[in-house]
Amino acid sequence: MLFNSFEFLWLFPIIFCVYYLITCRKRLIDKFPKIGNYLLIAISYGLYIKYKPEYALVLLGVTAITYLTALKIEKEHAYGKKKYLIFSGIALAVLPLLVFKYYHFLCSSFESLLGEIGLSVGLPGLNWVMPLGISFFTFQAIGYLADVYLQRIKAEYNWWDYMLFVCFFPQIASGPISKAKDLLPQIKSKRSFNYGQAVQGLRWILWGMFLKVVLADRIGISIDSFNGTLDTESGLMNLAVALLYSFQIYGDFAGYSFMALGIGELLGFELINNFKRPYLSQSVTEFWHRWHISLSLWLKDYIYIPLGGSRCSKFCNYGNILITFLVSGLWHGANWTFVAWGGMHGLFQIIEKMLGLNKKEHTGIVKGIRILVTFLVVSFAWIFFRQPTFSGAWSQIERIFTNHDTTLHFTTESIIFMLFALSIVILKDVVDEWKIKQIDGFHSSHKVFRWAVYLFLLTSILLMGVFDASQFIYINF
């Protein structure tokens, strides 16, 4: 279920009402304390089956494999056997991801490699659509397994609690990737309706919807029409498309994440906030502490630290950073352009580490310059994320630097829409970053001002939002 669809608008209130009608009944809860969880499992699987019934088996399979493997690991005392179990468990859990997401990529790369040495091999193709959120729920389940192996947490013995941890519907499609230590205790605890949490949840949904349908989708309509023709557009147009894409992907992904956060809050769960104003970062290192935070934490805990992290020589540390971000790139997409994108981020962070910029924070004009430079560097890298081929990416970069024509092919209408959305988003992020309470409409103590802001956003969503329930970019992962 896409959160920006009409279906969500009528279905979620029903889910909310049914959930609280059941969980607020004291007698029923006393008799069946976990009934709320069973209901959420039924809803989560119901929505997943609605998407594609057979893929619910993939979700169930990954859940079962990691659940059983974790139990076995906990019971096993021999280190060697534990190691065998963790690697087998991860291999089995990641197998569907490899097949659905990377099979075609691996085959075509293998064929290209053989082609380079004059061998021609035609491997059979797979034309299967990816199970929704497979990258997210697989990583979440593997993270749990690793935590049990590393004895950070105890294995979960309650199958139903663990099942909900993996399939929880607000986060399954595009994250956030929750840690077992954060989400499982909430699943196991008794939850009741909390007014403040519910209001905050609605705020997240409203803001997330604005980011998605007004910012991301409006920009998408304006720049997607130039796909395939950017090499005929001016240098300024190519630059504008690159910069606007930075905001499109931010609005798209952060918008979804905030809506997932909001839905979780409405149901009494605190999910991790995946975005903290990433384009106000002073360095690429800081950017990854503010962008897709749950993935950054996952990569740090399960790739970077096990490789040795920073507890090794400098060069080893740089290598660990690069490997971590190459994995990040590969996670984002089955294409060498994504790997290159990840590699670039790794390289930028290595340079920052060498220059000591990763730990240095500035103020004033220098801070402003660093924020701007970081934004431009990240936007440059996004070119490789967006373009399907290296030649397309290089062509765009070349045009930006060599073509001095300043013709822009946006309509007046689209410019106004985009400027409006960008101004609101930048204003909110600046207000939140520097805690400018006087104009913080979302948290103002004056109810009239707060409600005026909410009504303004809702009006903007209806007047300027794009309502064809367009796919979230990150849903492809």
Partner 1 sequence: MMKKFLIQLSIFLTLFACIDFALGKILQYGEAHAIGGKTERSYYINNKTHEDYLVFGSSRAVGHYVPDVFCNGKTTMYNCGEDETGIICFYPKINFIKQRYTPKVIIYDVYYVDLLDGLRFRNVDFLKTLKTSYGKTESVDSIFWRYEPTSRFKMLSNLYRYNSTSINILIDNIRKTNWYDKGFYLLNTGTMKNAPVVENSHKSYLYDEEKLQMLEKFIVENKDKIQLFFAISPEYGKTNDEMYHPIKQLCKKYNVPLLNHYCDTTFTLHQELFANQNHLNCEGALKYSSIIKNEIQHNNNIDN
Q: How far apart are alpha carbons 119 and 343 in whole angstroms?
A: 29
Complex with partner 1: residue 196 or 356, whichever CB lies closer = 196
> Is 289 labeled as catalytic in the residue annotation?
no
| Shortest Å distance, C-beta 397 to partner 1 | 24
Does residue number 458 form part of the binding site for partner 1 (CB under 8 A)?
yes
8 binds partner 1 (CB under 8 A): no
Task: Give me the catalytic one of 77, 292, 332, 443.
Answer: 332
Please, what is the minimum distance in Å from the beta carbon of residue 230 to partner 1?
17
Q: Please write down the HEC assignment for all residues of the chain.
A: CCCCCHHHHHHHHHHHHHHHHHHCCHHHHHHCCCHHHHHHHHHHHHHHHHHCCCHHHHHHHHHHHHHHHHHHHHHCCCHHHHHHHHHHHHHHHHHHHHHHHHHHHHHHHHHHHHHHCCCCCCCCCCCCCCCCCHHHHHHHHHHHHHHHHCCCCCCCCCHHHHHHHHHCHHHHCCCCCCCHHHHHHHHHCCCCCCHHHHHHHHHHHHHHHHHHHHHHHHHHHHHHCCCCCHHHCCHHHHHHHHHHHHHHHHHHHHHHHHHHHHHHHHCCCCCCCCCCCHHHCCCHHHHHHHCCHHHHHHHHHHHHHHHCCCCCCHHHHHHHHHHHHHHHHHHHCCCHHHHHHHHHHHHHHHHHHHHCCCCCCCCHHHHHHHHHHHHHHHHHHHHHHHCCCHHHHHHHHHHHHHCCCCCCCCCHHHHHHHHHHHHHHHHHHHHHHCCCHHHCHHHCCCHHHHHHHHHHHHHHHHHHCCCCCCCCHHHHC
Q: What is the total count of residues that contact partner 1 (CB under 8 A)?
A: 26
Q: CB nearer to partner 1: give 202 or 322.
A: 202
Instruction: Map the footprint of partner 1 across residues 114-153, applying CB under 8 A.
Output: none
State how far Cα 53 lies from the chain centre: 24
Q: If binding is defined by CB under 8 A, does position 346 make contact with partner 1?
A: no
Which span (188-196, 276-284, 299-307, 434-442) binds partner 1, by CB under 8 A? 188-196
The pair of three-digit structure tokens given for residue 121, joined into one six-digit string: 């091999």
Q: Is 24 in the site for partner 1 (CB under 8 A)?
A: yes
Query: Contacts with partner 1 in 394-423 (CB under 8 A)?
Result: 412-413, 416-417
The answer to whether 469 contacts partner 1 (rule: CB under 8 A) is no
Is residue 194 a contact residue for partner 1 (CB under 8 A)?
Answer: yes
CB of 195 to partner 1, least distance (A): 4
Residue 227 touching partner 1 (CB under 8 A) = no
Using the rule CB under 8 A, which residue among 32, 128, 434, 451 binds partner 1? 451
Among 199, 354, 373, 430, binds partner 1 (CB under 8 A): 199
The answer to whether 322 contacts partner 1 (rule: CB under 8 A) is no
Considering the complex, state which of residue 20 and residue 51 has its C-beta at the smaller distance from partner 1. 20
Q: Figure out which of the listed residues 359, 394, 455, 476 binds partner 1, where binding follows CB under 8 A.
A: 455
Which is closer to partner 1, CB of 280 or CB of 466?
466
Asked if 471 is part of the footprint of partner 1 (rule: CB under 8 A), the reply reads no
For residue 232, the minimal CB distance to partner 1 (Å) is 10
Query: Cβ 40 to partner 1, closest distance in Å?
Result: 18
Span near partner 1 by CB under 8 A; candidates 31-39, 50-58, 127-135, 196-204: 196-204
Two tokens, residue 295: 């993935």
Return the number of the residue (13 or 185) whose C-beta is nearest partner 1. 13
By CB under 8 A, residue 195 contacts partner 1:
yes
Catalytic residues: 332
Report the interface residues with partner 1, using CB under 8 A.
6, 10, 20, 24, 193-195, 198-199, 202, 412-413, 416-417, 451, 454-455, 458-459, 462-468
